[in-house]
Chain A
Amino acid sequence: MVSVPFTAPSVRQKSARYRLQEWLPRLVLAPTFLITVIFVYGFMVWTGYLSLSASKMLPSYEYVGLEQYTRLWASPRWYVAIKNLAIFAVLYIGISTVLGLLLAILLDQKIRAEGVLRTIYLYPMAISFIVTGTAWKWILNPGLGLEKLMHDWGWTSFSFDWLVNPDMAIYTIVIAGVWQSSGFVMAMFLAGLRGVDSEIIKAASIDGVTLPTIYWRIIIPIMRPVFLTAFVILSHLAIKSFDLVVALTGGGPGYSTELPATFMYSSTFSRNQVGVGAASAVIMLMTVAAIMVPYLYSEIRGGRRNG
């Protein structure tokens, strides 16, 4: 920490005032740095240790090795959570991406009402998942919601019980999640489309290439980085999904819509298994890190290369 070069014109002979100015930057950054070290990395280690402890109802610090992980992976509830995360993540990421791209392409056709439509597609992103869950819970309610509507309209055999059907309930979470996030993906793709050099497209169209082919063969391949970003952001959201499940299904029926995030929460706060909860949190962290660390690394590196 000695003789650090500053971009500021540091003049050696100057007095205490200058010395202070040399140290100020680090002093200013120190609180945030400390907070990060303690509340992010320290807490990771803390939770990591809890996952190796005998913690049950309250945190305890008796070391038991990998016992909690054994217990975690032997729990049928955790398997349901992992399976649900797989189903949810694949559908949520897949449908949001396709829908977002489609909306972006449709909106990119010189539409006069683009501003209004963009606002409409994106507004769910501003709303809390709890509100979204409340709304969809009402819409998908088998007694009074969509099912009743169809019956009123004369389709009396219509049945839609996904919300209370253990095999199908996870798909209601996909529906609400896609409704909430696809507009955001659209905004990302729209920004990407606006960045595509129109000269390339002009050249292709002069050569007689049709519009769909131009999109499929030229524009979509150019936007590969946007796909990557969308994938990273959506998978990160999927792994962290918690509020939506709580509001929409409460993890039920039974525990059929449990996700890792709700599993961790219920283990820790209502099933007196703090150790198992910590183990599941560690696994969630590792999953997120596996996706985010390479991405952030390449983003920072890329930024430095360009700047």
Chain B
Amino acid sequence: MASIALETARPRRHGIPVARIILFILLGLFALVYLLPFFIMVITSLKSLDEIRAGNLVALPEVVTFQPWIDAWGKACIGLTCEGIHGYFWNSVKMAVPAVAIATLVGAFNSYVMTKWRFRGADIVFALILFGCFIPFQIVLVPMAQILGLLGLASSTSGLVMVHVIYGLCFSTLYFRNFYMAFPDELVKAAMIDGAGFFRIFFKILLPNSLPIIVVTVIWLFTNIWNDFLFGASFTGGGSQPMTVALNNLVNSSTGVKEYNVHMAAAIIAALPTLAVYVFAGRYFVRGLMAGAVKG
């Protein structure tokens, strides 16, 4: 922890208060700017349409109504069906949970092999997998659509799970690899000498000690997969769409009155799962971002 401020400020103590006040004002203003859009979403979702038209962006609702939330969940029209977003919300859950679980487990296993059972060419294999994390997915859209069609998985949640596992694997492999690189080889060797086998070492020694990186990987994958739009929009239609695609269809449908309050309620519902993860496990979320950005 650097303690720059205190140490440098000490010789000039008389100048501190004014500088500190400006500092706090600046930080507070920025916090307001970052919070404002979410605040506006929340208050808009609690107003009636009439009140929205009569009032303005930041006016608090005079009469708080939860009707927009109820409508968004169960009645709003997406495409031709008017059953709200709840079905799409569950589509996203059914897509994200298995995809995250599979990609995490396979990534952990891959990394175990790459770091503790090194073989010639392991680095090249890793480099090949790693680059896959960063390709623009536009390059795979058409072939993937064709393959999903061939496999009979077009427009299905299982198809999306497969796609997300495939393109999530490289990140989980990357995260676990960096973590297992730092895991002491001596423990693994000692276990080998004691006669523990390939699987035993992984399940009894590495995996129980991997909780921090499991949390980071799960958060990263969950956020990315839940928030994905490109794959969802490209490979699904109608009732199998994930939440993000349904939200976009709801907001950008050109028919009927624009129910801004319902749109905002739906948008908040779409954001809630990842926001909850962020608020409760923010520390790990940041670490995940860092791990994705800076490799070792």
A binds B: yes
Residues of chain A touching chain B, judged by Cβ–Cβ distance below 8 Å, are 4-9, 17, 21, 24-26, 28-29, 31-33, 35-37, 39-44, 46-47, 50, 59, 103, 106-111, 113, 117, 119-132, 134-139, 144-146, 148-149, 152, 179, 183-184, 187-188, 191, 193-194, 196, 198, 201-202, 204-205, 211, 214, 219, 229-230, 233, 236, 239-240, 242-243, 246-247, 250, 260-261, 264-265, 268-269, 274, 277-278, 280-282, 284-285, 288-289, 292-293, 296, 299-300, 303, 306-307
Give the number of chain B interface residues (Cβ < 8 Å).
105
Asked if residues B34 and A121 are in contact (CB atoms below 8 Å), the reply is: yes
Asked if residues A110 and B131 are in contact (CB atoms below 8 Å), the reply is: no
Beyond A127-B274, A261-B138, 13 additional contacts (C-beta under 8 Å) are A7-B189, A40-B140, A106-B27, A123-B38, A123-B275, A134-B248, A194-B1, A201-B7, A214-B4, A236-B134, A247-B252, A265-B234, A281-B136
Asked if residues B2 and A144 are in contact (CB atoms below 8 Å), the reply is: no
Residue of A nearest to B134 (CB): A292
The stretch that binds A, out of B117-125, B150-158, B205-213, is B117-125
Residue of B nearest to A123 (CB): B278
Asked if residues B8 and A131 are in contact (CB atoms below 8 Å), the reply is: no
CA separation between A8 and B119, bound complex, in Å?
10
CA separation between A130 and B259, bound complex, in Å?
17
Asked if residues A25 and B119 are in contact (CB atoms below 8 Å), the reply is: yes
Residue of B nearest to A29 (CB): B113
CA separation between A120 and B106, bound complex, in Å?
34
- Given A6-B117, A194-B2, are A21 and B138 neighbors across the interface (CB < 8 Å)? no
Nearest chain A CB to B148's CB is how many angstroms away? 11
Q: Which residues of A contact B44 (CB under 8 A)?
A: 138
Residue from the list A39, A188, A243 in contact with B140, Cβ < 8 A: A39
Nearest chain B CB to A288's CB is how many angstroms away? 5
Nearest chain A CB to B185's CB is how many angstroms away? 7
Q: List 15 contacting pairs A-B, 8 Å CB cutoff, sorted by A.
A: A9-B189, A32-B169, A40-B135, A47-B142, A123-B275, A128-B270, A130-B227, A130-B270, A131-B267, A131-B268, A138-B264, A201-B7, A211-B5, A260-B138, A288-B136
Q: Which residues of A contact B113 (CB under 8 A)?
A: 25-26, 28-29
CA separation between A193 and B3, bound complex, in Å?
10
Q: Which residues of B contact A5 (CB under 8 A)?
A: 119-120
Residue from the list A103, A129, A236 in contact with B229, Cβ < 8 A: A129
- Given A7-B117, A109-B5, are A120 and B31 neighbors across the interface (CB < 8 Å)? yes
Q: Which residues of B contact A260 (CB under 8 A)?
A: 138
Quick check: is B203 within 8 A (CB to CB) of the other chain? no
Asked if residues A306 and B114 are in contact (CB atoms below 8 Å), the reply is: no
- Given A28-B110, A59-B146, A179-B37, are A285 and B139 neighbors across the interface (CB < 8 Å)? yes
Determine chain B's interface SS by DSSP, over half rule. helix
Residue of B nearest to A242 (CB): B230
Residue of B nearest to A285 (CB): B139
Asked if residues B290 and A202 are in contact (CB atoms below 8 Å), the reply is: no
Residue of A nearest to B292 (CB): A233
Q: Which residues of B contact A44 (CB under 8 A)?
A: 135, 139-140
Q: Which residues of B contact A113 (CB under 8 A)?
A: 27
Nearest chain A CB to B295's CB is how many angstroms away? 5
Residue of A nearest to B24 (CB): A111
Residue from the list A6, A108, A121 in contact with B5, Cβ < 8 A: A108
Looking at A37, A126, A202, A282, the one whose CB has the most chain B CB atoms below 10 A away is A126
Looking at B26, B126, B129, the one whose CB has the most chain A CB atoms below 10 A away is B129
Asked if residues A137 and B251 are in contact (CB atoms below 8 Å), the reply is: yes
Q: Which residues of A contact B229 (CB under 8 A)?
A: 128-130, 242-243, 246
Nearest chain A CB to B276's CB is how many angstroms away? 9
Q: Which residues of A contact B264 (CB under 8 A)?
A: 134-135, 138
Q: Which residues of A contact B129 (CB under 8 A)?
A: 32-33, 36
Asked if residues A108 and B4 are in contact (CB atoms below 8 Å), the reply is: yes
Q: Which 7 A-B pairs have the closest CB atoms?
A: A128-B227, A126-B278, A25-B117, A205-B8, A40-B132, A109-B5, A281-B138
CA separation between A9 and B194, bound complex, in Å?
12
Asked if residues A135 and B38 are in contact (CB atoms below 8 Å), the reply is: yes
- Given A130-B247, A243-B230, A269-B234, are A46 and B8 neighbors across the interface (CB < 8 Å)? no
Asked if residues B117 and A8 are in contact (CB atoms below 8 Å), the reply is: yes
Asked if residues A135 and B41 are in contact (CB atoms below 8 Å), the reply is: yes
Q: Which residues of B contact A282 (CB under 8 A)?
A: 139
Asked if residues A7 and B185 are in contact (CB atoms below 8 Å), the reply is: yes
Asked if residues A240 and B169 are in contact (CB atoms below 8 Å), the reply is: no
Asked if residues B181 and A214 are in contact (CB atoms below 8 Å), the reply is: no
Asked if residues B110 and A32 are in contact (CB atoms below 8 Å), the reply is: yes
Nearest chain B CB to A114's CB is how many angstroms away? 9
Asked if residues B260 and A239 are in contact (CB atoms below 8 Å), the reply is: no
- Given A21-B198, A288-B136, A296-B134, are A106 and B34 neighbors across the interface (CB < 8 Å)? no
Q: Which residues of B contact A229 (CB under 8 A)?
A: 293-294
Asked if residues A7 and B116 are in contact (CB atoms below 8 Å), the reply is: yes
Residue from the list A123, A196, A204, A285 in contact with B135, Cβ < 8 A: A285
Residue from the list B23, B136, B173 in contact with A109, Cβ < 8 A: B23
Residue from the list B27, B30, B197 in contact with A21, Cβ < 8 A: B197
Asked if residues A284 and B226 are in contact (CB atoms below 8 Å), the reply is: no
Q: Which residues of A contact B139 (CB under 8 A)?
A: 43-44, 47, 281-282, 284-285
Residue of B nearest to A233 (CB): B293
Residue from the list B30, B38, B138 in contact with A265, Cβ < 8 A: B138
Q: Which residues of B contact A39 (CB under 8 A)?
A: 140, 144, 166-167
Residue from the list A110, A122, A139, A230 in contact with B57, Cβ < 8 A: A139
